[in-house]
Amino acid sequence: MIASPIPTAGNPAADDESGQAAFDAVIAADSRIEPRDWMPEDYRRTLIRQISQHAHSEIIGMQPEGNWITRAPSLKRKAILLAKVQDEAGHGLYLYSAAQTLGITRDEMTRQLIDGKAKYSSIFNYPTPTWADMGAIGWLVDGAAICNQVPLCRASYGPYARAMVRICKEESFHQRQGFEILLTLMQGTDAQREMAQESVDRWYWPALMMFGPPDDESPNSARSMAWKIKRFSNDELRQRFVGMLVPQAEALGVSLPDPTLRWNAQEERYDMSEIDWTEFHEILAGRGPMNAVRIQNRRNAHEDGAWVREAAVAYARRQALKAERQVA
């Protein structure tokens, strides 16, 4: 037998001590943990929480933009937006599948979401009253998602990391299409430019909140970083994001709504105003402007789809019966 150069964490039957040693070796070698491997219970639980919240965010995230599909200003815009929203559904499905490899069922995750017990990204609880919001969401929200998710392509859990590779490619397209919507508006009439700026003003701060609380108030971050699920701290990612936005805002001709934002050459970071975390915590507690609507829509969609699930089960049963008869 040829010894594998890549360490693996052994099988699930491994006792805790040898399992932990093998797990630690995989993490130290920057290799991947796979579903068959032994893993600490906390690692499994953390991943289930993170991946399912991520999946829910993709699915709920279809709503703010789905709201504009029938009202997009041209056939081309409609086709692009439709493709983008469908991509988000796909992201949700890859991620639910990745979470299932950790021992939670799709039904359990769906139940947690429609019962209002699961968390998802706070950003999707804001309304989308104008067409420019499709631009600002693509540019800022998908842009923040890219900053967050590119490092996840190297996360230590194999199925999560692999799902993220494809997701990130699609997120780049989402960010470009948002940027392009804003660019078109900024080259248009005064009213269009105002609409673009007003939308950027509304989405900028919520997009910065997407990276989560400041590092000194993010108790689980250190552990996730030790497990190599997370590679950069919340504040580091926020800095990277702002660094990406500044030249792009200039190219667009929009201003970022933070009068204190400036590059601090000495500390090699951006100085910026305090984020209003009370707003963030209110939304996480379910009291954002659109929380109830988002969950109600999801619940309705699930109930409306009951006949599809029943039909699929009946069909599978009939196929199994047919196969049985053929064997007999």
Least Å distance between CB 53 and Fe ion?
13
Q: Restricting to residues 240-299, which ones interact with Fe ion according to CB under 5 A?
A: none
Question: Where on the phi/psi map is residue 273: left (φ > 0), alpha (ψ -120 to 50), or beta?
Answer: beta
Is-contact 135 182, C-beta < 8 A? Answer: yes
Least Å distance between CB 169 and Fe ion?
11
Q: Find the angle CA(174)-CA(205)-CA(192) to the nearest 5 degrees.
A: 60
Closest CA to 59 of 33, 90, 84, 21: 90
Give the Cα separation of 182 and 117 in Å (integer).
35
Nearer to Fe ion by Cβ, of 27 and 163: the residue is: 163
Backbone dihedral angles phi then psi of residue 271, each to the nearest 5 degrees: -85, 140
Burial class (CB within 10 angstroms; exposed 0-12, middle 13-18, buried 19+) of 23 = buried
Stretch touching Fe ion by CB under 5 A, among 8-16, 88-96, 209-217, 220-228: 88-96
Least Å distance between CB 203 and Fe ion?
14
Helix (H) or strand (E) holding 251: helix 234-252
Nearer to Fe ion by Cβ, of 77 and 91: the residue is: 91
CA dihedral 34, 166, 96, 117 (to 10 degrees): 110
Nearer to Fe ion by Cβ, of 121 and 291: the residue is: 121
Tokens linked to 284 = 């996480």
Nearer to Fe ion by Cβ, of 89 and 251: the residue is: 89
Q: Restricting to residues 164-203, which ones interact with Fe ion according to CB under 5 A?
A: 171, 174
Least Å distance between CB 154 and Fe ion?
18
For residue 271, CA distances in Å to 35, 199, 239, 302 come to: 42, 23, 9, 45
Give the Cα separation of 273 and 120 in Å (integer).
25
Contacts for 112 with CB less than 8 Å, ≥ 6 apart: 52, 118
Nearer to Fe ion by Cβ, of 137 and 252: the residue is: 137
Among the listed residues 37, 65, 88, 133, the single contact to Fe ion using CB under 5 A:
88
x-or-dash string of contact with Fe ion, 40-79, rule CB under 5 A: ------------------x---------------------
Least Å distance between CB 87 and Fe ion?
6
x-or-dash string of contact with Fe ion, 103-142, rule CB under 5 A: ---------------------------------------x
Nearer to Fe ion by Cβ, of 177 and 197: the residue is: 177
Q: Tell the residue number behind the tokens 């269009």, with chain if given.
A: 192
Among the listed residues 54, 56, 77, 91, the single contact to Fe ion using CB under 5 A:
91
Nearer to Fe ion by Cβ, of 37 and 65: the residue is: 65
Stretch touching Fe ion by CB under 5 A, among 70-78, 85-93, 154-162, 208-216: 85-93
Give the Cα separation of 260 and 255 in Å (integer).
12
Nearer to Fe ion by Cβ, of 156 and 175: the residue is: 175
Contacts for 291 with CB less than 8 Å, ≥ 6 apart: 125, 283
Question: Is residue 37 involved in binding Fe ion (CB under 5 A)?
Answer: no
Counting residues that bind Fe ion (by CB under 5 A) gives: 6
Nearer to Fe ion by Cβ, of 59 and 200: the residue is: 59
Q: Which positions touch Fe ion (CB under 5 A)?
A: 58, 88, 91, 142, 171, 174
